[in-house]
């Protein structure tokens, strides 16, 4: 596994705006074009959670995102020093039966789990560490 690119940004809306163009550029060499939009959705949601909820009672800290790759998978590793938040343990919002019962927001975690098959969370040295693993297509192994 090698590091393809690293992005450091403030945990703010301005910082979040840098995420999409960074991944678009950094992933060009190691992610299939049809897989990139799903990765973009997952990364947007994961970083948005940190920006919107990670620093409720103090000035926003920093977020570091690593894009890593090997022959089998592409990884996005997101590290932040915000409050403890484990997106793998948080409950998903139930699907509403109709518009009248639907709550407008709260579908970010659903999108993360739908578009990323492997989400691993750890709290390490006072920091959140979220590892999003996207397996590569290996048609040679499924033949």
- Residue 134 makes CB contacts below 8 A (sequence gap 6+) with 31, 35, 38, 39, 73, 74, 75, 76, 116, 117, 118
CB contact set of 67 (below 8 Å; sequence gap of 6+): 3, 4, 5, 6, 23, 26, 27, 30, 74, 75, 76
Among residues 2 and 20, whose Cβ is nearest to another protein? 20
Q: Which is nearer to another protein, 1 or 102 (CB)?
A: 102
Q: What CA–CA distances, in Å, run from 109 to 52, 86, 113, 116?
A: 14, 11, 6, 10
Out of 56, 57, 89, 100, the residue judged to bind another protein by CB under 8 A:
100
By C-beta, is 67 or 115 nearer to another protein? 115
Binding flag, residue 106, another protein (CB under 8 A) = yes
Contacts of another protein in 76-95 (CB under 8 A): 95
Number of residues that bind another protein (CB under 8 A): 29
Among 18, 30, 64, 107, binds another protein (CB under 8 A): 107
> Binding residues for another protein, per CB under 8 A?
13, 16-17, 20, 37-38, 40-41, 44-45, 48, 51-52, 95-96, 98-100, 102-108, 110-111, 114-115
């Amino acid at each position: 596994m090698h590091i393809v690119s690293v992005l450091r940004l403030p945990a703010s809306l301005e910082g979040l705006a840098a995420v999409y163009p960074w991944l678009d550029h950094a992933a060009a060499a190691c992610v299939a074009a049809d897989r990139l939009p799903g990765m973009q959705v997952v990364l947007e949601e994961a970083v948005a959670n940190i920006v919107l909820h990670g620093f409720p009672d103090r000035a926003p800290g920093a977020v570091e995102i690593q894009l890593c790759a090997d022959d089998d998978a592409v990884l996005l590793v997101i590290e932040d020093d915000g409050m403890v938040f484990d997106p793998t343990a948080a409950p998903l919002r139930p699907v509403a039966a109709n518009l009248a019962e639907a709550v407008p927001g709260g579908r970010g975690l659903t999108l993360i789990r739908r578009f990323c098959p492997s989400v691993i969370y750890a709290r390490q040295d006072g920091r959140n560490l979220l590892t999003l693993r996207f397996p590569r297509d290996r048609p040679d192994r499924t033949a």
